[in-house]
Amino acid sequence: MTIETLRAAVRGDVVADGEAGYAEARDGLLFNGRAPDRRPAIVVRVACVDDVQATVRYAARHGLKVSPRGSGHNFSGIALQDGVVLDLGALDRIAIDPVARIAEVEPAAKNGALAEALGAHGLAFPTGHCHTVSLSGYLLGGGFGWNSGAWGLACHNVEAVDVVMADGRLIRASATEHPDVFWAARGGGPEFFGVVVRYRLRLHDLPKAIRTSLFFYPIERAAEIEDWVTAAMAVVPSNVEFTTHFQSAPPFVPAVGKVAMCTPTVFADSEAEARETLGRIAALAPAGALAVEEALPMTFASLYEAAATSFYTGTRYAVDSAWSVQPAHVFASLAASVAAAPAPHAFALAVVLPPAAGEAGLPDAAFSMAGPAFGAAYAIWDAPEEDAANVAWLRDAADGLAPGRLGHYVGEADLERPGWLEACYAPEALARLRALATLHDPLGVFAPGARPEAARLAG
Ligand SMILES: Cc1cc2nc3c(=O)[nH]c(=O)nc-3n(C[C@H](O)[C@H](O)[C@H](O)COP(=O)(O)OP(=O)(O)OC[C@H]3O[C@@H](n4cnc5c(N)ncnc54)[C@H](O)[C@@H]3O)c2cc1C
């Protein structure tokens, strides 16, 4: 069976290394301009689920590894592997059943497209904060989206998945069918051992009033800000998302250098509720803010517009994250790191979860690493010759989070670092994921970079 057999078997494009169009097929795979130095032997741009099945069977027969790619937004570039990259980019259909309050989405459907389509029906989903990220890897790794405090993680709103398994079979996995595959697909991320080709999602009512307040402070006031955020999160309802960004001052803020931008957003049932909740948060705010804008009316579209200002397509990124039991340390350490960042676009975010989130515990799924506080650092720069300085800054910032750190979030972890992938899961969940991978993918067709023992088995 040659590559021509594969070409004949799939409707989409098959591009092998050395062929015309290869550079375009490979170079367009990742969001991060700082791509790993890997060259897939073949890139298959699938046109349908049959193409996924044919490619997986071909790869298994030829001892090739398969790496599914949603939109290539994982900052560590892990979708780009040396074997066969299965580019799912064309599988992006969204079907909504407003009566059943269910959406069936193909993996490469984007967060923004889903939010917009649902909004037309008065519905919503905890879509991620960036409209261009596909649901593919976002849902598979967990998914921290808008209003996750009230709606839960995105993966906890998945009712079923359609998966192409390592032998090319297409199965549906849910709480009652192939429950072990369903367990793994909700948080397994790069440790997953199949290709998700459809997600079935449980939907929510579109909030009637979304409002955000903005408070800017000098970055040196991180400790007071953490006190405020922790106090506020202990008393506000779960429909509040309260993020602090440490970053360069935007032009409209009367400050030079770096600031803390604190943004409580409420996803409420009424304008009165939104204003009342934001009023309670404002009442606890430290005095002496550099700038304040209160209770700005938002929509999902304007939330996406605001979030997009932090990211620039085509530039270079290094990113890491940490779950921590020490919120005060997360705020202080990230503020100090950003104050010393070599590039002006570098930023960090810090979040305190509501106390109830920890008490409730996590639903039983592969997503198994979380804590009372979350922090993430983002190095962002343009010139390749500045890679070393920026990666070094990012790793220092990440190392600064070590006291109190429980682990990382797989969607935004520096997966090039040894041990980081493993620390994205509770140890027992990782052991279960790897045992399931050995059972369902004994040849190690999937994720060679992520699962060393699978690579060994196949090797
Ligand atoms: C600008 C930006 C903003 C972000 N914002 C958020 C946010 O708000 N909340 C959040 O939780 N995360 C966020 N992320 C992280 C993002 O959700 C994850 O990195 C996610 O993996 C990206 O999805 P993707 O489909 O592009 O994954 P890819 O980079 O394409 O793939 C990532 C991994 O998942 C595997 N994979 C992808 N799709 C499939 C599939 N269908 N079947 C099997 N394996 C698959 C790949 O093989 C690879 O190992 C953000 C990332 C960026 C770049």
Q: Is residue 183 part of a domain?
A: yes
My answer on whether 227 and 349 are in the same domain is yes
Instruction: Among 412, 438, 454, give the residue marking a domain's end.
Output: 412
Closest residue (by CA) to atom 4 of ligand 1? Answer: 130
Q: Is residue 164 part of a domain?
A: yes
Considering Cα of 107, then 113, then 116, then 117, what sign does the dihedral take? negative
Q: Is residue 437 part of a domain?
A: no
Considering only CA atoms, give the Rg of the chain.
22
Between strands 195-202 and 102-105, the pairing is antiparallel
My answer on whether 114 and 36 are in the same domain is no
Q: Is residue 385 part of a domain?
A: yes
Contacts of 287 (CB under 8 A, 6+ apart): none
Instruction: Among 182, 205, 228, give the residue marking a domain's end.
Output: 205
Q: Which two tokens stand for residue 163?
A: 């998966």
My answer on whether 221 and 182 are in the same domain is no
Ligand 1, residue 135: give the atom nearest the CA: 25
Terminal-residue alpha carbon distance, the chain: 20
Q: What totals of helices (H) and strands (E) does the chain contain, helices first?
A: 15, 19
My answer on whether 216 and 201 are in the same domain is no
CATH of the domain at 109: 3.30.465.10
My answer on whether 222 and 334 are in the same domain is yes
My answer on whether 214 and 308 are in the same domain is yes
Query: Which DSSP symbol is given to 445?
Result: -
My answer on whether 27 and 175 are in the same domain is no
My answer on whether 361 and 379 are in the same domain is yes
Amino acid 245: pLDDT: 97
My answer on whether 404 and 346 are in the same domain is yes
Residues with CB under 6 A from ligand 1: 31, 67-75, 78-79, 88, 107, 128-130, 133-134, 136-138, 140-145, 189-190, 192, 195-196, 311, 411-412, 447
Query: Which DSSP symbol is given to 402?
Result: -
My answer on whether 220 and 198 are in the same domain is no
Domain count, the chain: 3
Question: Tokens 């493993």 label which residue?
Answer: 422
- Residue 458 pLDDT more than 90? no
What length does the chain have?
Answer: 459
The string of pLDDT tens digits covering residues 200-222 is: 999 999 999 999 999 999 999 99
CATH of the domain at 58: 3.30.43.10
Distance 142 CA to ligand 1 centre (A): 9
The pTM assigned to this predicted structure is 0.96
- 3-class SS string, 361-379: CCCCCCCCCCCCEEEEEEE
My answer on whether 76 and 165 are in the same domain is no
- Residue 77 pLDDT more than 60? yes
- CA distance linking residue 70 with residue 31, whole number of Å: 11
Amino acid letter, 255: A
Ligand 1, residue 134: give the atom nearest the CA: 25
Contact 417, 410 (CB under 8 A): no
Domain span at residue 198?
A: 94-205
Q: How far is CA 417 from the centre of its chain?
A: 18
Closest residue (by CA) to atom 24 of ligand 1? Answer: 137
3-state secondary structure at position 424: helix
Amino acid 447: pLDDT: 66
Closest residue (by CA) to atom 53 of ligand 1? Answer: 73
Task: Please give the average per-residue pLDDT across 45-68, as a whole number.
Answer: 97
Ligand 1, residue 32: give the atom nearest the CA: 53
The string of pLDDT tens digits covering residues 226-255 is: 999 999 999 999 999 999 999 999 988 887
Q: Is residue 441 part of a domain?
A: no
Q: Is residue 360 part of a domain?
A: yes
Ligand 1, residue 409: give the atom nearest the CA: 11
The string of pLDDT tens digits covering residues 340-361 is: 998 889 999 999 998 776 666 8
Ligand 1, residue 194: give the atom nearest the CA: 43
CATH of the domain at 314: 3.40.462.20
Q: Could you please report the per-residue DSSP string of 11-67?
A: SSEEEETTSTTHHHHHHTS-SSSS--S---SEEEE-SSHHHHHHHHHHHHHTT--EE
